[in-house]
Amino acid sequence: MIKKILTNRGFYIILFACITIIGSSMVIRNMSRTVMDRMNTQLDKPPTFSDMIPVDYEPSYESQTVDTIAVEPPAPPPVVEVAVMPTEITSLRVPVDGEIIKYFSNDELVFSNTMNDWRVHRGIDIAAPLGTQVRAAADGVVEQVFTDDLLGVVVVIGHVGGFQTLYASLQNEDFISVGTRVSEGDIIGGVGDTAIIKSADGPLLYFEVHRNGQHIDPVRFFTTI
């Protein structure tokens, strides 16, 4: 009888142990499945910034002083005044102090005391004492210095706009050289008597104005005579 009872008790003990093991296995399985589901959910959804902030995190809002630097605007570029170069001559200086004794005549014939005939006169004669200073009538560059058989020592100055001024019957051709840049009023020589074609008129300056090869009356450019 006692043996039977022990046998039955052992059976129940074994049965209880099996049920406990089975129950524990199911609980562990369910817990594992829950953990895996949570991991899969976290893998499918990337963590947010709030997920990474600790629960006890408190942001600091301490005020910070920022030094401001005054930046001056850049200075405007300097105004450069560009000199406007004249395109043509509008006035000329009378090249020598003296008296005009023969005027320009391109259409009408005038009498030549030296040649004793009538001919055109494409410049003006300004009588002045021998050696009187002859000055450039305008800014320019000396283009020619030579001695002509009839006009004597000649200086030709080139100016803007195709203008040229010619000074003849000068004393000598060594006073100024080709290529010299002159300003209005610069001395370019002295009054002479080297023009054979005007020898009967005494010392004088023969003065011509050309533009693009055409002779122009010099008096029309003089502001004073």
Which tokens belong to 56?
Answer: 């006890």
CB 95 within 8 A of CB 137: yes
Nearest CA to 103 among 127, 81, 80? 127
CATH code, 99-221: 2.70.70.10
Average pLDDT along the chain: 80
Question: Cα separation of 194 and 150, whole Å?
Answer: 8
Q: Confidence class of residue 161 from pLDDT cuts 50, 70 and 90? A: very high
CA atoms within 13 A on the CB side of 155: 30
| 172-214 per-position pLDDT tens digit | 999 999 999 999 999 999 999 999 999 999 999 999 999 998 9
| 25-67 per-position pLDDT tens digit | 565 565 656 545 555 555 455 555 555 555 555 555 455 555 5
Question: Which pLDDT does position 2 carry in this prediction?
Answer: 46
Question: Cα separation of 176 and 157, whole Å?
Answer: 11
* Structural domain boundaries in the chain: 2-52, 99-221
Instruction: Give the range among 13-17, 87-91, 100-104 with minimum mean pLDDT.
Output: 13-17
CB 221 within 8 A of CB 180: no
